[in-house]
Amino acid sequence: MIITAVAMLELPMNVYYTVNSCLYCMVTIWRHEKYQRFY
């Protein structure tokens, strides 16, 4: 029961972390492209 609860909690956290990493990466690339146009 406890192991199942931990597994259920870990999965959303892993997905959340992956999505956040992807968004951060996209934002970083977008800002880099944006600033490169100005310079």
Say what the pTM is: 0.48
Residue 39 has pLDDT above 70, yes or no: no
> How far apart (Å, rounded) are the C-alpha atoms in residues 28 and 21?
10
The pLDDT tens digits for 4-23 are 888 878 888 888 888 889 89
| Residue 1: DSSP 8-state | -
Residue 35 tokens, joined: 């600033």
Residue 3 has pLDDT above 70, yes or no: yes
Write down the domain spans for the chain: 1-34
pLDDT of the residue at 28: 92
